[in-house]
A and B are shown apart, each in its own frame.
Chain A
């Protein structure tokens, strides 16, 4: 889609584009290309010399059991966060969509956690579940659970999943609600007149019509769980205990820190880039299709 009435000239549009393109080149393209280049290099322990080693960094990465463990953790973490936050949000959105009194107030009361920083959300949940002083940790202990996220990897993972889910519910709720409200009432009323029960109407009409929203949210939630949860993990567990909560992004950060293993870290970055590109492509294919309807 293009405008019919268009200005000419070259200097002015380039001038208008300069700030954006400059920032993009210096802070996006150059570093990204550096990441790709570094992934083919080996740097010695003192950072004094580098040499080209081809795909050696990738080979080493893909043959290390630790990397597969991190992939496993990331997959489990993302699946749990996505499934939990999507289903809780859907339940809430369906209720808020019913024409009930106070729907606007409920919406306000349900969307604010979106604004809480991931790291701060982590701190809030840490406070509740801190083994020696947390209020809910005490509750768990009195129920006979030997709760200790500082030592038990499963407990730590449960903790970061809870905090990450808590923060994402608002976002999903908002989009589900918008999706539900865009379903024409007439369709649902027609089904009701034909005698379809509310449950049946939900499964055969509402849910299929909501599937584009759900699919969109699925991709967004995976991206969220992969990238935006860094602050939660760093504030709560720092990837521990013994790497039980280390996701792919956290590993890039950890391995490259203090010039540790820049080549390996860069190779991981490149793999992550490929994942983002794939996810973005999926998302845009979906949007193209939606426009075509």
Chain B
């Protein structure tokens, strides 16, 4: 700023920020350390603060076997379930909301505002307030323990629809007129103009929705009863048993690392899209 700052004053922000980074990273560091020590060392409460030598072993066991109990599934399978669910939710939400926003913005038809409000009001009905009736609908439709049951009820999203609507309103009207002059119909305009222009918005939204899908908890908890349909976020909770001596903490920690890796990697590697998606969808 304006004043000349002393050495100390220039150091303070770094100290505070490093402290913040350390506090945020510490739980994950301990988790990493925990995944590298044998179970009995952790259970005795004697885990050292530096990584041990069982790193590859824990991860291999987790991925291919899971915990040693009978009902347990390999984490590899759970990761696959999580990935499938996250991808279906993210692409499904984008697909159905981009076409519905296109309809609401570019067409004049009798029920336009009614349709818009109908979508808009779902903002006020998060799954947590309609848990059991929604469960019953899914059960009646025979969709328990299926990917459809896991994803379709979460796919309607007012946020994504509003997000695309905001963006479509910024597309200059001249483009529609030019397309009309060329004799192109609405769908050609959608494919040739709207969709290519929306690329960066789709990327930003995809990052946010992928994380949203991957991290779902309550819904998969209700909908999946078969252990081979479990997602990793659900699976990890079931690995912790009440009698602590029986919990294989090294496997649990390896699983936690594996469960965090995909969404964290998406945020870090696609940071620009992530920040944009987060800020824009909240408007």
Verify B133–A6 contact, CB threshold 8 A.
no
Q: How many residues of B contact A (CB 8 A)?
A: 102
Q: Which of A13, A92, A99, A231 has the most CB of B within 10 A?
A: A13
Q: Which of A7, A108, A126, A166 has the most CB of B within 10 A?
A: A7
Interface residues of A in 4-28 (CB under 8 A from B): 4-10, 12-14, 16-17, 19-21, 23-24, 26-28
Verify B233–A10 contact, CB threshold 8 A.
no
B45 CB-CB contact with A under 8 Å: yes
Of the candidate stretches B53-61, B73-81, B150-158, B198-206, the one touching chain A is B150-158
Which residues of B lie under 8 Å from residue A5 when comparing CB positions? Answer: 173, 176-177, 180
CA distance A110 to B23 in the complex (A): 10
CA distance A287 to B115 in the complex (A): 22
CA distance A132 to B44 in the complex (A): 8
Which residues of B lie under 8 Å from residue A235 when comparing CB positions? Answer: 236-237, 240
Which residues of B lie under 8 Å from residue A169 when comparing CB positions? Answer: 20, 24
CA distance A38 to B13 in the complex (A): 55
CA distance A192 to B99 in the complex (A): 51
Verify A10–B217 contact, CB threshold 8 A.
no
> Which residue from chain A places its CB closest to the CB of B253 in the assembled complex?
A127
Interface residues of A in 159-173 (CB under 8 A from B): 166, 169-171
Interface residues of B in 237-281 (CB under 8 A from A): 237, 240, 244, 249, 252-253, 256, 259-260, 263-264, 266-268, 271, 274-275, 278-279
Verify A21–B115 contact, CB threshold 8 A.
yes
CA distance A170 to B259 in the complex (A): 19
CA distance A119 to B219 in the complex (A): 13
Verify A127–B103 contact, CB threshold 8 A.
no
B197 CB-CB contact with A under 8 Å: no
> Which residue from chain B places its CB closest to the CB of A197 in the assembled complex?
B3
Interface residues of A in 91-137 (CB under 8 A from B): 91-92, 95-96, 98-100, 102, 106, 108-128, 130, 132-135
CA distance A174 to B111 in the complex (A): 38
Q: How many residues of A contact B (CB 8 A)?
A: 100
> Which residue from chain B places its CB closest to the CB of A30 in the assembled complex?
B137
Q: Closest Cβ of chain B: how far from A284's Cβ, in Å?
A: 9
Verify A133–B42 contact, CB threshold 8 A.
yes
Which residues of B lie under 8 Å from residue A121 when comparing CB positions? Answer: 27
Verify A123–B24 contact, CB threshold 8 A.
no
Verify A16–B100 contact, CB threshold 8 A.
yes
Interface residues of A in 168-224 (CB under 8 A from B): 169-171, 174-175, 178, 188-189, 192-193, 198, 216, 220
Interface residues of A in 56-106 (CB under 8 A from B): 88, 91-92, 95-96, 98-100, 102, 106
Q: Which of A21, A174, A189 has the most CB of B within 10 A?
A: A21
Verify B123–A280 contact, CB threshold 8 A.
yes
Q: Closest Cβ of chain B: how far from A36's Cβ, in Å?
A: 9
A244 CB-CB contact with B under 8 Å: no
Which residues of B lie under 8 Å from residue A269 when comparing CB positions? Answer: 129-132
> Which residue from chain A places its CB closest to the CB of B106 in the assembled complex?
A7
> Which residue from chain B places its CB closest to the CB of A33 in the assembled complex?
B133
Which residues of A lie under 8 Å from residue B122 when comparing CB positions? Answer: 24, 28
A1 CB-CB contact with B under 8 Å: yes
B195 CB-CB contact with A under 8 Å: no
Which residues of A lie under 8 Å from residue B14 when comparing CB positions? Answer: 100, 102
Q: Which of A16, A30, A198 has the most CB of B within 10 A?
A: A16
> Which residue from chain B places its CB closest to the CB of A190 in the assembled complex?
B2
Verify A276–B47 contact, CB threshold 8 A.
no
Verify B107–A276 contact, CB threshold 8 A.
no
A265 CB-CB contact with B under 8 Å: yes
The answer to whether residues A35 and B130 also contact, given A10-B110, A128-B27 and a CB cut-off of 8 A, is yes
The answer to whether residues A124 and B129 also contact, given A3-B173, A10-B109, A112-B268 and a CB cut-off of 8 A, is no
Verify B106–A116 contact, CB threshold 8 A.
no
Which residues of A lie under 8 Å from residue B100 when comparing CB positions? Answer: 16-17, 19-21
A155 CB-CB contact with B under 8 Å: no
Q: Closest Cβ of chain A: how far from B232's Cβ, in Å?
A: 8
Please list 19 pairs of residues, one from A and one from B, whose beta carbons are closer than 8 Å in the complex, sorted by A's number: A12-B187, A13-B104, A16-B100, A19-B95, A24-B119, A24-B156, A31-B130, A31-B137, A38-B132, A110-B24, A111-B274, A111-B275, A112-B267, A133-B43, A133-B244, A134-B45, A135-B49, A170-B24, A273-B124
Which 10 residue pairs across A and B have the least CB separation, nearest first? Answer: A31-B133, A231-B217, A34-B133, A117-B215, A115-B263, A13-B107, A16-B103, A23-B156, A20-B100, A192-B2
User: Can you name 9 extra interface pairs (CB under 8 A) apart from A31-B130, A95-B13, A108-B271?
Assistant: A1-B169, A6-B107, A28-B156, A115-B211, A117-B214, A117-B233, A121-B27, A276-B126, A277-B124
